[in-house]
Amino acid sequence: MTRGSQLHQKKLDELLRECRTHLPSVDEPLVAKAFEFALEAHKNDLRASGDPYFTHPLEVAKIVSTEIPLDDITVISALLHDVIEDTEFNMDILSKEFGKEVAEIVDGVTKISGIFRGQEITLAENYRKMLLSMVKDVRVILVKFADRLHNMRTLEFVSPEKQRRIAQETLEIYAPFANRFGLGTVKWELEDLSFKYLNKEAYEELVRKIQNKRKERESYIKKFSEPIIERLKEYNLDFDINGRAKHLYSIYRKMVRRNKPFEEIYDLFAIRIILNTEDNNYCYTTLGVVNQVYIPVPDRFKDYVSIPKTNNYQSIHTTVVGPDGRLVEVQIRTKKMHEVAEKGVAAHWKYKENKATTEKDLDNWVNWIRDIFENASKDEARKDLLESFKLNLYQDEIYVFTPKGDLRRLPINSSPVDFAFDIHSKVGFHCIGAKVNGKIVPLDTVLHSGDQLEIITSKNQHPNKNWIKFVKTHKAKSAIRKWINKEEEEVTEIGKEIWDKKTKKMKLSFTTQDIAKLALSLKFENPKLFFRAIALEKLNLDEILLSTRTKEKKDKAPVLEFENFANLARGDIGGVIVEGTEKSGILYSYAKCCNPIPGDPVIGYITIGEGIKIHRKTCSTLLRISEKDASKLIPVQWPEAESSLFVAGLTVMGEDSPGILNEISHTIVSYQNTNIKSININTNNSTFEGSVTLYVQNIDHLTRIIERLKKLKGVYTVERFESA
């Protein structure tokens, strides 16, 4: 056996030993097979540190076998998690060699990795996909956490720019998400490692200050704990008591939030009492002992044993006044509660007798995630969704009760409307008022833990647009938006029905384009808003239709559109005058290549079969064909009076902003009732580029409109283009 083979065998033996220690059962041959498969698949790859790439999947497997242990399938998936992404192997091979379950977990982890690559972390859709992939198999996200944890532990080997990007993503999404998943230890380490790369100076200063205070802290914790230990021994309790390490990022965040120096924040000492018992009642016995020894601080007590957090975290938190008047935070929990707090959902599998309850708790948690992402309304802005998601990850919760005493968890600062939608969508839709602790309160009242709520409903009540401003839950926001959109659609449909009846009665016919043009001329951005105004009786429809009919009768001037420029006209009908000839009988048409309008310098070109083609003198096509035979050119001019309308095209570019389309349209139609034939705007990042075709009388008419458009805020350039 070569030295390399011996080393690999040693590493495999270590991994199997850890699996046997921490997992309920292990398929050792399959773990060994996955080890050899991954080793071979990554044999030619190196990490940024210069180490063989295989060290990464091996370390990820160690994390899921010791730090967040669940089962051997998770360990095997961790060993193989980069195989599909980085090698030539595919899902089919993994499924055949290791089973469908392993293949699906690896595929889920690969998809999550692909989501983030090269993307901005503000793309909410990425997180929707990530969460929904986790919903299919909880082990997908456990492997991803382990993968991210090892990458953060080795982040020193990548470029500073990549360090900051990965650290920011970890701090904003992975760390709070790990907390929601119940992985306390992972959450703290991810936060501290992110902090290290995002603010190195503050990180190193805190490390130095903590080192200087270590002996003093240890001495004080011992002094504080001794009288508690004596009392607890009197009750024959089996327990461990120790100082709880304050995490660097937590200290830093408190310093910033409270605007206080390190010394004041760090003087808040903390200890943890872990009871080696399955009986939760001993937590309250221990609390009684602590309160006998030291004076408790009012309003600093939290009981998460009776009411666990969403992630199943359980513990009693209290703050007491210790020796020398210093405040000390005390956490009291059983050994099982501690494992759940440290290892989250993975710890539940250790306690088989509670597996049914565990799976129910996990289902509740997964349903909470699914509710956020699947019920988000489609028209909700991606940025809004992400901000809501981040808020839900970071925020604390409040606990409120129904009139019958049922417990409901809500985000902090929730309102009675959030509570109503949490009960049922129908209750939310018809919510007209609320009683909090027996008193009628406004619907935007901020709720607090312990409040008891009763919702007052009415069949005639419907969601109000203002509710969006104060509701906090995704369920409430999504439902309110959907209802408002549905209501607007119904109103629009009523307006359209009124329009159809009126136009039919007056025997008027309008195309879709005609309606769009009419809506624009009446200062509406689109036909929907036009129909809505009709339904709400904000317009006198009879008057509009009568004026439209009158205008149709009066306006008999021929209109030359782009697609009709080739149609032939006679020289005596509102067109050009051909010098040296009689007006009648001259056949001519306007060239589509340059679309001349009155005022443009023009010239005629004699063609075979189509008479004279009228071009602008600057037309590139004219210059090219006249080189072959200049004798076919003939002088022409515009008559003094011109009643025709001509189509001209403009390109407009500028800075993108809300309502820019409306501003451009309004600027055009408000000048001499100019009609727009078509308008098209495309946006790219923060800029827009658009084309407008409009009906003008002459070059002066067009020049005035160009000048007006150039004055619009954010418009960079306005230029005429020759052909459509």
Chunked mean pLDDT (size 10), the chain, 724 residues: 74 91 88 91 82 90 88 90 80 88 84 54 48 63 89 89 88 80 84 92 88 83 91 88 80 82 72 90 92 87 84 87 87 89 63 46 53 45 46 62 79 90 88 88 86 86 84 85 80 83 77 77 77 78 69 47 34 50 60 82 81 84 80 79 74 84 86 84 80 86 89 85 60
State residue 551's pLDDT score.
Answer: 57
Predicted local confidence at residue 120, as pLDDT: 44
Q: Please report, for the domain that includes residue 650, its CATH number.
A: 3.30.70.260
Q: Which domain holds residue 150?
A: 3-157
In the block, tokens 């063989």 appear at 52
pLDDT attached to residue 192? 93
On whether residue 390 sits in a domain, the answer given is: no
Residues 232 and 291 in one domain: yes
507 lies in the same domain as 631 = no
- Same domain, residue pair 216 and 113: no
CATH of the domain at 10: 1.10.3210.10
Instruction: Give yes or no for a contact between 652 and 689, defined as CB atoms under 8 angstroms apart.
Output: yes
The region that residue 41 occupies, defined by phi over 0 for left and psi between -120 and 50 for alpha, beta otherwise, is alpha
Whether residue 65 is contained in a domain is answered as yes
CA angle, 49 as apex, 47 and 54 as ends, to 5°? 35
Q: Are residues 531 and 583 in the same domain?
A: no
Is 86 labeled as catalytic in the residue annotation?
yes
pLDDT at 283: 92
Annotated catalytic residue: which of 18, 27, 59, 85? 85
Q: What is the pLDDT of residue 152?
A: 93
Residues 544 and 577 in one domain: no
Q: What is the pLDDT of residue 606?
A: 83
Its sign, for the CA torsion 99, 104, 107, 108, is negative
Question: Is 289 found in the same domain as 244?
Answer: yes
pLDDT at position 373 is: 46
Annotated catalytic residue, options 86, 169, 267, 329: 86
**66 in a domain, yes or no?**
yes
Residue 421 lies in a domain: no
Q: For residue 478, tell me if it sits in a domain.
A: no
| pLDDT score at 391 | 47
Q: Are residues 13 and 131 in the same domain?
A: yes
DSSP assignment of 393-442 equals: HH--EEEEE-TT--EEEEETT--HHHHHHHH-HHHHHTEEEEEETTEEE-
The answer to whether residues 660 and 621 touch, using CB atoms and an 8 Å cutoff, is: no
Residues 87 and 225 in one domain: no
Let me know if residue 94 belongs to a domain: yes
| For helices 382-394 and 355-374, angle between their N-to-C axes, nearest 10 degrees | 150
What pLDDT is attached to residue 312? 76
* Residue 93 domain-assigned (yes or no): yes
Same domain flag for 205 and 329 = yes
Q: Same domain, yes or no, for 707 and 573?
A: no
**Any domain includes 183:** no
Provide CB contacts within 8 A for 517, sequence distance 6+.
675, 676
Q: Which of 38, 130, 48, 131 is CA-nearest to residue 85?
A: 38
Which tens digits make up the pLDDT trace of 569-606? Answer: 333 334 566 654 444 456 777 887 888 888 888 888 88
> Given 610, 637, 664, which residue is the final one in a domain?
637
Question: What's the pTM?
Answer: 0.52
Considering the domain architecture, whether residues 233 and 90 belong to the same structural domain is answered as no
- Please give the tally of structural domains in the chain: 5
